[in-house]
Amino acid sequence: MASPFRMDYTYVAGTGRSVFLRGLAEGRMLARRCPACAQVYLPPPEFCSRCLSRLDEPFELDGRGVISTFCVVSFPFPGQVHEPPYVVAHIQVEGSGTRLMHLVREVDPADVRIGMEVEPVWAGEDERENSLTSIRHYRPAGDEYA
């Protein structure tokens, strides 16, 4: 039996991630470092998930990084925002010890590789908000695409 089901969520980002989200609205990618174990988080929580120390003040990264893993979404599903095929990747942003998940566009999905250098493409200033959608997507940034 198929039955429609709908739930509304209110997600509370918390103190740490709120700083990250407000940074996105300003076109800035804010990371934080753990003073005890040196792990760098992007997006940053308030406390280190390895040693529970309160993280240091936010600092800015330029957002460039490499693809650490990815998948090509090639089938349609209800509620889909993007036309398949498209690439969703984990991006190891330079200077961060954690990974960010985002779309990779402006490249044929068949050409996407682990280790590919990518850079963020920001939404226009008037379109930015407290959300990862302030970054439209990532795109290849290596010399081979310059």
> Is 82 a binder of Zn ion (CB under 5 A)?
no
Whose tokens are 């250098």? That residue is 117
Which of 15, 26, 51, 131 touches Zn ion (CB under 5 A)? 51
Whose tokens are 């996105």? That residue is 24
- Using CB under 5 A, which of 14, 15, 37, 113 touches Zn ion? 37
Binding residues for Zn ion, rule CB under 5 A, total: 7
Only one of the segments 3-11, 28-36, 104-112, 134-142 lies at the binding site for Zn ion (rule: CB under 5 A); that segment is 28-36
Q: Does 34 bind Zn ion (CB under 5 A)?
A: yes
User: Is residue 49 near Zn ion by the rule CB under 5 A?
Assistant: no
36 forms part of the interface with Zn ion (CB under 5 A): yes
With 0-12 / 13-18 / 19 or more C-beta atoms within 10 angstroms meaning exposed / middle / buried, residue 146 is exposed
Cα angle: 132, vertex 128, 131; to 5 degrees: 25
Answer yes or no whether residue 35 interacts with Zn ion by CB under 5 A.
no
**How far apart, in whole angstroms, are the C-alpha atoms of residue 115 and residue 94?**
12
